[in-house]
Structures are given as structure tokens and as C-alpha cells.
Amino acid sequence: MSAVNRAAVEAVLRQYTDPYLNQDPVSAGCVRAIEVQGDQVSVQLELGYAAGLFKSGWAQMLQMGIEGLDGVASAKVDIRCVIAPHKAQAQIPGLANVKNVVAVASGKGGVGKSTTAANLALALAREGARVGILDADIYGPSQGVMFGIAEGTRPKIKDQKWFVPIESLGVEVMSMAFLTDDNTPMVWRGPMVSGALLQLVTQTAWGDLDYLVIDMPPGTGDIQLTLAQKVPVAGAVIVTTPQDLALLDARKGVEMFRKVNIPVLGVVENMAVHICSNCGHAEHLFGEGGGEKLATQYGVELLASLPLSMDIREQADGGKPTVAAEPDGQVAMIYQELARHVGARIVLQEAAAPAMPTITVSDD
């Protein structure tokens, strides 16, 4: 029996690719410790994204690989998820406890942006992250309804300065709808809306959050630019349908985020295909492959492709979005994949960010 060493264990780990980071654990910098005691091997890995439902299976796969190494009798692989904070959060009042802000945006309304934002928040929480959601869609706030928060519910006030977000389904929720009458339309001009939105951002007492998902208003106007320039967003998710008109507007959304130097994490394609509930026939009602074309055009990832499903709509309208209503269902699993991809893309964006130059002073 040959002796086992760290190099041999690392060589095995390099044979396995993390499907979300698209790298092996060693190259991705996930290895925290490798201990070899005779024929016993212990490995500790650290993932920078929320992966509570993935890590046990991933650990088991790596363990089996190491145990296949000549000279190893047994192996143990422990995986932890540690979410690192994005830059500049502490500079914004109210966001000091928030590690990463994720904007969910669309070029036009009616593409399922708010439903995507709600399910993304729930999926991140189900992966073990601490999550909040801010309903920044001032003109049409809907997160209160989606999270089953009763009409007329008002947030508590802390120290006569802070709104305390309302917790529902394991997620902290804040919305303009909690401060107004649901039946009264927001007849405001742009500057008023921008001011109200910034007040929500800076005067909400979020808990210690790994991720704050912001449900953006549709479009690329003053409100979106204000939020993009005033809030340190770690990345944006663009929601579209395969329809040509939706894709045209989604392109504008991608361009807007790029102009304000916010990374586009990827594209979510809603209503990609309809499966007939009677005969099972699949039909692409809004076109086919549009989200993939958009992602390819801008060099970003197609994060998820979701069906046109009555259940998704009914569950959101009923105050229990798909991830909470059917956590083990096929559609919920797509949202879980989306959550892990979003978290991993933030890690990769941070790793790719240019390092600050080192300044040295010499006497020469």
C-alpha cells in the first residue's frame, strides 16, 4: 500500500468540477484544510455561495473519489458555506449589515420579474442564506401579496428612525405597499419616487443578511439609474421572455447596468415553453431560444429557463410562491439552481475584479 500525501488528494480533487463555479475545488480556492493520518484523509472545503441543498451530495462525490485513491481506507469531506460581503456596503446607512445586494430587473413589465425575485429570495433562504427582499417597484408593489402579508400590515418603527422589515416565509420583506393604501395608486413624479425609494433603502433596519434581493421597477429610467448609482449592487439578474419585443427591452436593461458598472450575473427566461395539462404537448408560445441568444450576445449566462405554468402564477397570487408551496417540485428545483448560480456568479465577479494597486514608498 502506497503512502498518501496532500498532493495526491489535491490531484483527485482537481478531477471534479464545481458545476456553479465551473472550476475544480483546488483552482477555485475552496480548500481550507487537508489532513492525512495514515490511511485516513480529512478535507475541509469552503464555498462562497449559499449551497445548503447541494453541499452534502458534492461532499459525498468528492469523498468517494478520495476513497478510490490507492492507500486510502476512509475519507471525510466537510463543506461550509461562507458568504463574503460585497464592497462599499458600510457606506450606505441601513445596508451596513447586508453583505450582497442583487437587483432583479426587466426592460418591460409583464415578464414575471417580481415572481422571479420572490422565488429567488426564497430559494437563497432555503440554501441556508439569510435573505431580505426590497420591493422597489414603487408604482406596482406586489411582494407583500406574494409573501402572504395581510393588507394593511405596517412595519414597526425602531428608534423613531428605522422601518423594521416584516418577516414572512423566512425572508425579511420591505415594500412601499406597507406604507400606503393598497387601493391608492402612486401618482408621483420621478424625483418623488426616487426619494421614496432611497428612503426605503437607507432607513430600513435590515438584519444580518447574506443577500438582499431588490425587485426593481420595469424599464431603464430615472428610478433605475438612481438605485444603480446610489446602492452598491453586487450584480443584476435580467428577466425576459423569449418574445422579440421583450428581448429588445431586456437588451436595454443589460446596457444600462453595464453603463453604471454593475455586473450582469445572467438572464432568466420566463414563459419559455407551455406544456399542455391534458395531452403533454410542448409549445413555445412566445418564441424559442430568445433568452439563450440574449445571454450569448452579451457574454453572460442563461441562469434559468422556466415554463409558462398556471401553478407558478396561482402560488404567487396565493401568498406562497413556488419554492415555498412545492419545495420538492420540478419548478422549485429550477429556482434552487438559479439561486446557486446567482451566488456563485457573485463570487466569480468578485474574484475577477481588478485588485487595488499596492503603493510602496522607498528612499531611492
Report d(CA 21, CA 202) in Å as an integer.
Answer: 32
- Spell out the residues 6+ positions from residue 302 whose beta carbon is closer than 8 angstroms to its own: 266, 267, 269, 291, 292, 295
200 to 225, 319, 358: CA distances (angstroms): 16, 22, 37
**293 marked as binding residue:** no
Burial 236-261 (b: 16+ CB within 10 A, else e): bbbbbbbbeebbebbbebbebbeeee
Contact 44, 81 (CB under 8 A): no
- Spell out the residues 6+ positions from residue 163 whose beta carbon is closer than 8 angstroms to its own: 155, 156, 157, 174, 178, 200, 203, 204, 205
**320 marked as binding residue:** no
φ and ψ at residue 242, rounded to 5 degrees: -70, -10
**343 marked as binding residue:** no
**107 marked as binding residue:** yes
**195 marked as binding residue:** no
**112 marked as binding residue:** yes
CA 287 to chain centre: 26
Contact 315, 325 (CB under 8 A): yes
**318 marked as binding residue:** no
**132 marked as binding residue:** no
Binding site listing: 107-114
Binding site listing for ATP: 107-114
